[in-house]
Structure 1
Amino acid sequence: MAARVIKALCIGCGVCAQMCPHGAIAVLVKTASVDSMLCDECEECVFACPNGAITI
């Protein structure tokens, strides 16, 4: 299962996208989006998100 973004908590800051070593996250229209084909569940984005908007 890939990372998921809790849209109600995401502020679109882009920190998760910067921390993702696989380029699996993009910020589109002020909300992060995860490409499940690229995500390897490393949890870097989970730890990086200042709002706790990403879960695995």
Structure 2
Amino acid sequence: MELYPTGYTIPYCSHACGPCSPCKRVMLSFKCSIAESCPVVYKCVSKGKFYHVPSN
């Protein structure tokens, strides 16, 4: 089960990669210091190419 902050929706990538399929959502991680919070960034990927996540 995945938990997300209230009001936050996980992006869907079903149409983000155009004709390329399968198109999957991936979470990119960043190295942050302990004192700061790291942003959560999602991208859509198909056959090794990244695409922008569509806005809801």
Same fold (TM over 0.5): no
TM-score class normalised by the smaller sequence: under 0.3
Q: TM-score, normalised by structure 2?
A: 0.27
Structure with bigger gyration radius? 2
Which fold has the larger relative contact order, with Cα–Cα distance below 8 Å and residues 6 or more apart in sequence?
A: 1
Q: TM-score, normalised by structure 1?
A: 0.27
Name whichever structure is richer in helix by fraction: 1
